[in-house]
């Protein structure tokens, strides 16, 4: 018997109201039971609409299962992907595993044989995730390859060498590709490398490379003389694919040498920019450079969020400087610019309408200059999360500074372990001059920047934030403290010691009617190497590579 | 007999791979000139990135008890321990440069 459209609609409405699910049309609520891509949805909000775990019962959250990834080198930096009851995970050495999302039991493992050169390069052996689509799991490897694995069996389907790994100062992939329809886009590392960073377009079905976009513009005004030869840039975090306009958005890396702009006397396009690309061709639709002729390592690889507000299609993007750029999604025109913190001195201000950097602080050679925020930024690369129910965007703000000292440096692309930075170090970290705590969890309106609440932290967060339909914000710190906050007020509702610090992503999914919170625990990355100079307690944090799943026991 | 010879040869190769340096390759690690040259390598190759310009950075060398051979091998072949990682420098730096850097590291660390 065929049901009438009205009856079907009523049935659907009843179903939705009885299960507490939200309407499928609401942005950020698509595919509610899964975490199918790096920032969950195409708008990159990192919002799970699931509400079974909520303010009333989060205190009863307990461990459902634990899984170990193996190699702990540089920690566990991934955001796991969860689709239809299966977790897809990647740990050090680009080791990929599929796990049963109810039990944590391993279903299959894939481990590529890596080029031994990866032992010498700056950015290895970590990865920030996998991508899933077309029945395959896709990874970008630390030796510059794209690899496709059968989603069900773990068998390799194809692989393609994309970067010239041995001849580009070890430029490689530390993040997953972005699935943009039939095309995968891979963004390479390059900001601290004597190389030109690229974004590659690859056929998802076959692995055939179809285009590459050079983040170093071939333009003598932008890069006089030979200055662009090792200009850096790249795009070392995942892009955002917008199916509505068939556009892939990437934030790009910094120019090199990082701290010596006098050796590159142009605006250094397309570094420190948001670029909007046609994934079919790699053609540039528009760009917005946030920091022309960067001097302070304020690159722009962070997540690109999409919003619709008052009839406008908008992009929201945080630069490492801590300034947030609100742009027209179709043109890149500036709608607003606001700072996530007032711990900033590299400029007096940034013009909210034009983007002009007002009263830049330049760095004299061979002399230390105090710059705020530090080279870790006003926030690190770990994504924030936006909750449409509260209208708030939650971010781990870093409120500390660093002394930068540019020095002359020979360029040798075969010197794989030395950063193309024009410095001996990456900034001597110090607390903010006013003595405030080194960071906070901050809840802001993403368009205006208005702060509703914040919670100061003795050790600031370096993990991606999660917010849910249950009115919660989950955040993990480097000491191992995982906490659930009231999304409206910032009140701590639950806390758990994961045994190691968090640097990856926290996600939520549902299997057989039960909601889970899944946490990547394993302190690592350059933050683990450098931050103990500022916060000595971090020296003692145990390393790990652990996935911990939580649920409310029945 | 041939098996024993083969085993002995294999052990030699393994030993050679595990300890590919001779202890007397850089005898005077306390020579101020060698230490100064090592500090230059330390800065130029951005060891200071993680260890700080004076060795008291994020991965603090000044508080560690170190020995010459261990430092040389760590610099040459890289180091992965406690979840953190140092890249390998063999064939990027010469053995002499690695010994110089070793001399500097020993000069700022607690030696056995």
Residues of A whose CB is below 8 A from B52: 425, 428, 533
Domain assignment present for residue A202? The answer is: yes
Please report the ipTM that was assigned to this predicted complex: 0.82
Strand, helix or coil for residue A531? helix
Nearest Cα residue in chain A from B88: A120
* Weakly modelled stretches of chain A, pLDDT under 70: 1-25
Instruction: Give me the residue from A119, A407, A523 closest to B87, CB to CB.
Output: A119
For residue B111, what pLDDT band results from cuts at 50, 70 and 90? Answer: low
List the single best residue of A376, A533, A546 to mutate versus B (max B Cβ within 10 A). Answer: A533
C-alpha distances in Å from residue A213, one per residue of A216, A255, A276, A303, A466? 9, 16, 11, 19, 32
Do A522 and B57 count as a contact with CB atoms less than 8 A apart?
Answer: no
- Tell me, yes or no, if A419 comes closer than 8 A to chain B by beta carbon: yes
Domain assignment present for residue A283? The answer is: yes
Domain extent for A306:
162-172+181-350
Residues of B whose CB is below 8 A from A409: 44
Q: How many domains does chain A have?
A: 1
How does DSSP classify residue A423?
A: B
| Mean pLDDT for the stretch of residues B26-41 | 90
Domain assignment present for residue A387? The answer is: no
Task: Name every residue whose Cβ is closer than 8 Å to that of residue A388 and which is 6 or more positions away in sequence.
Answer: A26, A27, A28, A29, A45, A47
Task: Name every residue whose Cβ is closer than 8 Å to that of residue A299 and which is 6 or more positions away in sequence.
Answer: A191, A251, A252, A253, A254, A271, A272, A291, A319, A320
Integer Cα distance of A262 and A390 in angstroms: 45
Closest to A123 measured CA to CA, from A167, A77, A173, A83 = A173
CA angle A305, A311, A313 (to 5 degrees): 25
How high is the pLDDT of residue B26?
67
- Tell me, yes or no, if A425 comes closer than 8 A to chain B by beta carbon: yes
For A137-184, the DSSP string reads EEEE-TTSEEEEEETTT--EEEEEE-S-GGGTTT----S--EEETTEE
Is the predicted pLDDT of residue B12 greater than 80, yes or no? no
Residues of A whose CB is below 8 A from B87: 119-122, 124, 416-417
Nearest Cα residue in chain B from A536: B58
Q: Is the pTM here over 0.95, yes or no?
A: no
Q: What are phi and psi of A552, to 5 degrees?
A: -90, 120
Q: Return the C-alpha torsion angle A404, A407, A411, A413, nearest 10.
A: -30
Domain assignment present for residue A292? The answer is: yes
**Contact present, A285 and A255 (Cβ < 8 Å):** no
- Tell me, yes or no, if A73 comes closer than 8 A to chain B by beta carbon: yes
For residue B82, what pLDDT band results from cuts at 50, 70 and 90? Answer: confident
Q: What's the gap in Å between the CA of A528 and the closest CA on chain B?
A: 7
Stated as kind and residue range, the H or E segment containing A12 is: helix A5-19
Closest to A64 measured CA to CA, from A522, A512, A524 = A512
Integer Cα distance of A402 and A423 in angstroms: 13
Q: What's the gap in Å between the CA of B36 and the closest CA on chain A?
A: 16
Domain assignment present for residue A317? The answer is: yes
Tell which B residues from 35 to 54 touch A, by Cβ distance under 8 Å: 43-46, 48-50, 52-53
Residues of B whose CB is below 8 A from A524: 83-84
Q: What are phi and psi of A262, to 5 degrees?
A: -65, -15
Q: What's the gap in Å between the CA of B74 and the closest CA on chain A?
A: 12
Domain assignment present for residue A222? The answer is: yes
For residue B16, what pLDDT band results from cuts at 50, 70 and 90? Answer: very low
Beta strands in A292-355 (DSSP E): 304-309, 312-318, 323-328, 334-339, 349-350
- Tell me, yes or no, if B87 comes closer than 8 A to chain A by beta carbon: yes
Domain assignment present for residue A50? The answer is: no
Q: Which domains does chain B have, with CATH numbers?
A: 28-111 (1.10.760.10)
Residues of A whose CB is below 8 A from B83: 72-75, 522-524, 528, 542-544
Closest to A525 measured CA to CA, from A1, A33, A92 = A92
| Mean pLDDT for the stretch of residues B107-111 | 84
How high is the pLDDT of residue A554?
76
**Contact present, A437 and A457 (Cβ < 8 Å):** yes
Cis check: omega of the bond before B77, within 30 degrees of 0: no
Integer Cα distance of A431 and A362 in angstroms: 21
How high is the pLDDT of residue A301?
97
| Mean pLDDT for the stretch of residues B65-85 | 92
| Cα–chain center distance at A319 | 12
For residue B56, what pLDDT band results from cuts at 50, 70 and 90? Answer: confident
Domain assignment present for residue A101? The answer is: no
How high is the pLDDT of residue A19?
39
How high is the pLDDT of residue B58?
86
Do B84 and A74 count as a contact with CB atoms less than 8 A apart?
Answer: yes
Closest to A76 measured CA to CA, from B83, B87, B58 = B83
CATH code for position A256: 2.40.128.630
Closest to A62 measured CA to CA, from A482, A511, A527 = A482
């Amino acid at each position: 018997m065929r049901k009438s459209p009205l009856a079907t609609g009523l049935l659907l409405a009843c179903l939705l109201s009885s299960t507490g699910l939200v309407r499928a049309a609401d942005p950020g609520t698509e595919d509610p039971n899964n975490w199918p891509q790096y920032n969950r949805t195409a708008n990159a909000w990192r919002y799970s609409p699931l509400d079974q775990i909520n303010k009333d019962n989060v205190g009863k959250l307990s461990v459902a299962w634990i899984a170990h990834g193996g190699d702990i080198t540089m920690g566990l930096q991934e955001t796991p992907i969860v689709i239809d009851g299966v977790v897809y995970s990647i740990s050090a050495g680009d080791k990929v595993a599929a796990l049963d999302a109810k039990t944590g039991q391993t279903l299959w493992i894939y481990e590529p044989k890596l080029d031994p050169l990866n032992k010498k390069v700056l950015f290895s052996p970590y990865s920030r995730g996998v991508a899933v689509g077309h029945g395959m799991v896709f990874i970008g490897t630390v030796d510059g390859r794209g690899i496709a694995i059968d989603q069900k069996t773990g068998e390799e389907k194809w692989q393609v060498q994309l970067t010239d790994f041995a001849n580009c100062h070890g430029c490689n992939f530390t993040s997953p590709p972005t699935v943009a329809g039939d095309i995968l886009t891979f963004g390479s590392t390059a900001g601290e490398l004597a190389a030109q960073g690229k974004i590659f377009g690859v056929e998802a079905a076959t692995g055939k490379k179809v285009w590459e976009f050079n983040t170093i513009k071939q333009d003598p005004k932008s890069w006089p003389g030979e200055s662009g030869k090792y200009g850096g840039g790249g795009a070392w975090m995942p892009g955002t694919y917008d199916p509505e306009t068939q556009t892939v958005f990437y934030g790009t890396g910094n120019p090199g040498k990082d701290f010596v702009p006098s050796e590159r006397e142009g605006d250094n396009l397309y570094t420190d920019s948001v670029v909007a690309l046609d994934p079919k061709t790699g053609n540039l639709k528009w760009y917005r450079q946030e920091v022309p002729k960067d001097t302070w390592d304020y690159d722009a690889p962070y997540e690109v969020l999409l919003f619709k507000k008052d009839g406008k299609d908008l992009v929201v993007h945080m630069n490492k400087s801590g300034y947030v750029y609100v742009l027209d999604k179709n043109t890149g025109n500036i709608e607003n610019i606001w700072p996530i913190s007032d711990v900033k001195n590299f400029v007096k201000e940034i013009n909210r309408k034009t983007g002009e950097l007002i009263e830049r602080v330049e760095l004299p050679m061979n002399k230390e200059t105090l710059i705020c925020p530090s080279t870790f930024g006003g926030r690190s690369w770990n994504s924030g999360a936006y909750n449409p129910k509260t209208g708030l965007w939650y971010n781990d703000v870093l409120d500390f500074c660093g002394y930068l000292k540019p020095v002359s440096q020979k360029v040798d692309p075969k010197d794989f372990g030395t950063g193309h930075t024009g410095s001996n170090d990456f900034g001597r970290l110090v607390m903010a001059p006013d003595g405030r705590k080194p960071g906070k969890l901050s809840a802001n309106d993403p368009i205006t920047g208005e702060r509703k609440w914040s919670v100061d932290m003795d050790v600031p967060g370096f993990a991606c934030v999660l917010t849910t339909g249950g009115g919660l914000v989950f955040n993990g710190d480097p000491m191992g403290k995982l906490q659930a906050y009231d999304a409206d007020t910032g009140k701590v509702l639950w806390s758990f010691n994961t045994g190691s610090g968090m640097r990856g992503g926290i996600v939520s999914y549902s299997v057989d009617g039960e909601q889970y919170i899944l946490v990547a625990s394993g302190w690592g990355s350059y933050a683990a190497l450098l931050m103990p100079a500022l916060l000595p307690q971090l020296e003692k944090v145990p390393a790990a590579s652990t996935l911990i799943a939580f649920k409310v026991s029945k | 007999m041939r098996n024993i010879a083969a085993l002995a040869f294999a052990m030699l190769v393994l030993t050679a791979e595990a300890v590919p340096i001779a202890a007397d390759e850089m005898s005077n690690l306390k020579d101020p000139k060698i230490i100064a040259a090592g500090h230059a390598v330390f800065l130029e190759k951005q060891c200071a990135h993680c260890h700080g310009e004076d060795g008291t950075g994020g991965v603090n060398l000044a508080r560690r008890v170190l020995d010459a051979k261990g430092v040389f091998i760590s610099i040459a072949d890289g180091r992965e321990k406690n979840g953190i990682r140092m890249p390998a420098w063999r064939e990027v730096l010469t053995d002499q440069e690695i010994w110089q850097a070793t001399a500097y590291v020993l000069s700022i660390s607690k030696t056995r």
